[in-house]
Structure 1
Amino acid sequence: MSLLNDLNVKLKGEKYTISNLISAIRAFQKKNALFKDDIQSQLFHFPRLLEERRDEKDTKYVQFIEELIDNFKVRFDDFVLGKQLLLFIQNPFLVTDITEFSVEANLTWKWVHAAKIQLELTDFQENVALKQVFCDCTPESFWSKEGSPANFLTLHRLAVQILTMFGSTYCCESAFSTMNLVKNNFLSCMTNEHLHHCLRLAITPLVPKFRELEKSKKCNFSH
């Protein structure tokens, strides 16, 4: 259960992209298979079970993990983003199987032309300047600012569509919680327009530059 709680924490957060969330899910699915073998052998991952006698009670633990494996398979195996697409978002310079990458991209987005995106990725990976820029920033900031859509239009469009996917409902749930705090019992008469403005101020990641705003204002001295 502690491992499930750790996974739950990894799936929450404002800065997690769909690739981060899928990677966490797939890693946990592989761990489940590892846990199933371990619980029937050395119990490296279940030290508390070593304190008990190995008897028929182990069977119910194995059955629980098998049900967990099936549950995760039903819930998450229909994710359409393949390994090469996830690798492309994390680091496009590590994509070695360009053919598989183009196939995965075309299966997910029909507008992707396989031949065109293969040539673009090849040119992209041989661009030393872009590689240096990518090493100095995050994938999100790279594709939003440095991705050079003029030269790599298909790659840029593909990256933006992946990075703007909603991986979870965390942001929506967080916004609703903030709204409940803003519009409490003491502010029940607040209009929808004022609530909209207050909510935007409460959830925005932008921090006002108060010093610059202060310098731009001039005091009016009375005569």
Structure 2
Amino acid sequence: MAHLNELNVKLQGKNVFVHKLYSSVTAFKAKLILFSKHIKDKVFTRFPTLKYLKVSPEKTEKYSKVLCDLHGEFSCCFSDFEKIEKTLELVSFPLSFDYKKALQELQLELIDLHCDSTLKEKYNSEKLNKFYATLSETKFPNVCKVAQKILVLFGSTYVCEQTFSLLNYNKSRYRSQLTDQHLSSVLQISMTRMTLDFDENKSTFDFIRD
């Protein structure tokens, strides 16, 4: 359960793109296979409690099967992502992705991308979404289009659930006079990162989204 909790934490948070979430799930699936084999072989390195217990062959077989079944459940739940796995890899590592494995309409653009030293520097210094924002849609139209489709995917419902919890917390019986407009402002301030830009008179200020 501790390993599941670790995965759950990795799948939470804001501004996490779907390819990173999927890589965490893929890694966990590989760990399940390893855990299943270890338990079957009575290697309890990752299961400290079992080290001090006498585990019968029947129970090791049972525990191993549980882990295999869990791996099957994960594979079933995330089967749709397997269909776009190559696209996720392309978007997350555009400068190292083998252009020969890409669609024909992307190959020439990827070659230009691989040979551009300026873009290599930007890729290493900028966040992925900002890197794609700097690409010219005239020079890399197809790469930009693929990146847009992947980067706008919602990888989890974490932000929605967090917003709903915040709404319930603010719209309580102790704040029954809170209007919808005020509630909307509270959510906007709480759920977005903003900096205040005060004018010289410090009488008004503008919200600038980060």
TM-score class, shorter-chain normalisation, is 0.7 to 0.9
- Identity rate, percent: 31
Deviation at 1:197, TM superposition (A): 2.1
Greater alpha carbon shift after TM alignment, 179-188 vs 25-34: 179-188
The letter for the 2-side match of 1:46 is F
Larger strand percent: 2
- Post-superposition Cα deviations, 1:113-134, rounded to whole Å, max 9, x if no partner, equal xx32111111111111111111
2:61 paired residue number = 59
Aligned equivalent of 1:48: 49
Rate the CA distance shift 1:33–1:92 in 2: closer, same or farther, 3 A: same
| Aligned counterpart, 2:186 | 198
Q: Partner residue of 1:132?
A: 121
Residue identity opposite 1:23 in structure 2: S
1:184 aligns with 2:172: yes
Once residues 187 and 20 of structure 1 are traced to their aligned partners in structure 2, the CA distance between those partners, rounded to angstroms, is 39
Q: C-alpha distance in 1, partners of 2:35/2:90?
A: 30
Q: Deviations over 1:142-197 (max 9, x none)?
A: 112x1222211111121122111101100100111111222222222322222222
User: Does the 8 A contact of 2:91 with 2:146 survive in 1?
Assistant: no
Cα deviation per residue 1:89-145 (whole Å; 9 max; x = unaligned)?
A: 32211102x24332xxxxxxxxxxxx321111111111111111111111122112x
Q: Distance in 2 between matches of 1:35 and 1:147?
A: 43
Structure 1 stretch 6-15 or stretch 39-48: which is displaced more? 39-48
The secondary structure found in structure 1 opposite 2:81 is coil
**Which of 77, 80, 95 is residue 79 of structure 2 equivalent to?**
77
TM-score (norm: length of structure 2): 0.88
Q: Confirm or deny: 8 A CA contact 2:95 2:120 kept in the other structure.
A: yes
AA of the residue aligned to 2:49: R
Deviates more, 1:80-89 or 1:126-135: 80-89
Task: State the SS of the aligned residue for 1:13.
Answer: coil
CA RMSD of aligned residues (A): 1.9
Whether 2:142 is the aligned partner of 1:154: answer yes
Kept in 2, the 8 Å contact 1:18–1:162? The answer is yes
Task: Determine the structure 2 residue equivalent to 1:10.
Answer: 10
Measured in 2, the distance between the counterparts of 1:214 and 1:185 equals 37
Equivalent-residue separation in structure 2 for 1:155 and 1:80 (angstroms): 20
* Number of equivalences: 202
Q: Contact 1:91–1:139 at 8 Å: present in 2 too?
A: no
The Cα shift of 1:82 comes to 3.6
After TM superposition, the score normalised by the length of structure 1 is 0.83
Whole-Å Cα distance in 2 between the matches of residues 173 and 81 of structure 1? 27
1:32 matched residue in structure 2: 32
Q: Does residue 1:167 correspond to 2:155, yes or no? A: yes
Give the partner amino acid of 1:129.
Answer: T
The yes-or-no answer on 1:143 pairing with 2:144 is: no
The match for 2:208 is none
